[in-house]
Chains A and B, each alone.
Chain A
Amino acid sequence: MTNPAYWLDRKFGLRNHTIAHYAWVIVAIAGVVQMVGAAIRMAFGVLVDPLVESFGWTPGSIGIAYALMSIVTALASPIAGYLGNRFGARKTMAVGTALFFIGMMWTSQTSAIWELYVAYGTVFGIAQALLLVPVVPAVAAWFRRHLGLGTGIMMVSWSLGPALVVQVLAVLFETVGWSSAFVIVGVVGTGILAFVLIYFRNTPEDANRIAYGTLTNDKPLVTEGSVFVSTQKEFQRFVYKTNAFWNLINIHFLGCVGHAVILVGIIPMAINKGVGPLTAAGVLTTISVISVSTRFITPILSDKFSAKTVMFLSFFGQGVGVFLLFTADSALDFYVFAVLWSIPYGGEGTAFPVVNRQYFGHFPIGTTYGWQLLGAGLGMALGGAIPGLVFDITGTYAWAIGLSAAFSLAGAVGIALLEPTRHQLIPAWPEMEAGPIGATAPEENRTLSPEAGD
């Protein structure tokens, strides 16, 4: 029987790409993991009012649980990345799934604020790191070339997933109450994660396949055994000695502060200028929807050209774009801002897997990416606190807007100081000694001819 994916290849006229590759299953699984793993984080705003009504806790004390969860996730990210490298993303995410279930069930039964801090802030925070960090390097391992395309498709789920889950949670909270909603989402989410992990494989070699974009004369990469472990340790030491490693953590931190200020503050900023609450909420929705396009395209452009240049333009645009808010007075002004700013914002964080590939080659980037997400998480926590704090003191959002611009532009300066991406900063990751993959690869895995290189 003809594989329908080959039929689709012909239908779409694909010559250098194919839909008939297991890498796309891995990308789809990564999208589902991102969607479920990030669901409750994104939906926290929906949770606040029901908890205030049920227990009489203040929004501020409930907000501490969110801040705690953000910081715990950030601090656990390098460890999650290391565990993904050492034991494989699948096992790490399985532990994350178990903690996700415990965190959700415990949160549903919470009756004291300290329980919320432990269940949601700590258990769920660790679960989120174990689910969200190792999956990105695992996807990278499935792409010998064209990583930008795989990353772009995966990153789209970051926007669409939470948008979908927030709506589902809002309906559940309204119909069955917040406690039952957590039980339902916990059980269904755990079921979905457990199901997709059955089909997840850490590397192409684990699945007895070859990576997407492998040419017939490529040799397979080392992905297991003693050489894998020892080389990984040695290469990680090289990575720590590069300026790029430290600078990329810094850049992710600065960029996340820059956009967290806007994402958290844009609705109150609009309301403060007389825009209605629903119209103001539409500004944030517009940003989420339009940024999907650049989340998709930025990694592809980064792969095709220089990730450094594309990242610089994204950060610079994100920084300069917020100046529009200084003069925004009407709903139209805010929507114009949303459309223009979401273009660079969407590309701010999605090129990191590609720039890691350009600097560190096929070295497993779990730990390295985990450190970068530590910077991102702390940046989101700081940026999220700025609008409210600054408004309480000054009675205006002007300072918050200025700080958002300053952090994003500082990130752009950091990118300008990165090493050129033309050459790897560490040696090439070792390959197997035997002949090229083309000699031994299963026929259905031979996705590209040597002429079809990127």
Chain B
Amino acid sequence: MTEIFGVPTQALFGQLLIGLINGSFYALLSLGLAVIFGLLNIINFTHGAQYMLGAFCAYLLLNKLGVGYWWSLAAAPLIVGALGMLIERLMLKHLYKLDHLYGLLLTFGLALIIQGVFRNEYGSSGQPYPIPQELAGGHNLGFMFLPNYRAWVIAVSLVVCIATWFVIERTKLGSYLRAATENPALVQAFGINVPRMITLTYGFGVALAAFGGVMAAPIYQVSPQMGADLIIVVFAVVVIGGMGSIMGSILTGFGLGVIEGLTKVFYPEASNTVIFIIMAIVLLIKPAGLFGTQK
């Protein structure tokens, strides 16, 4: 058994793979946050709760309506995204003219409400959600046993992240969005319905969170608190990556997941805090974030 720095390679690769899986969730969620913040300048604290809603949606669809995982992958983001758009129309849009901090406080309050309602109904221990039959089981890779579902998570996240980046940075629709953030009045003068675009963008960001939730349901248990602690790590990821940069969030999400996995092998006590320590260092050296531009 070969060893690197006193750690067997088997353990190393195993934790790296787990890190990559965690990184997929970080990337998916920070992508949604970055889209919402980068294009709308809103800090969506409700993101964690919306991730949880996606997971619960999948759970309820399965248990109340018999709708399986594959349909939920499409249905849950649509449902939760629609709810998100409702929130934007009814509440968030009144706050755009105020200090951005109010947006943060409103979404924080909404997160409390959503989490509280579900905790009331379901308690804080998780509900089980089965891994879909087609993805059950796994393969022995030699250095570890990799469950198929976890490999699926990595693959899908990569695809979704790259697709989103492509749409925003390389298509006409994306350019309208980016222009609308820079100068909404001017873009509106060109006849583009800016408020509707903003609503749709918020809905899309929320849908990304919900999608992450459905992906998480089979492995992480569906529990009302599942988004609460995750969201703060995702904030740190977005700050490190650069608040407005889409590619930055994706790369940082995956990268930090891997770093966290490595820390678990070499120095497990620090695994919870390593991301925040990196954030502190990045802030000292490059306050705008690794890929961000000073606004």
A and B held together in a complex: no
Q: Which positions in B face A, CB cutoff 8 Å?
A: none
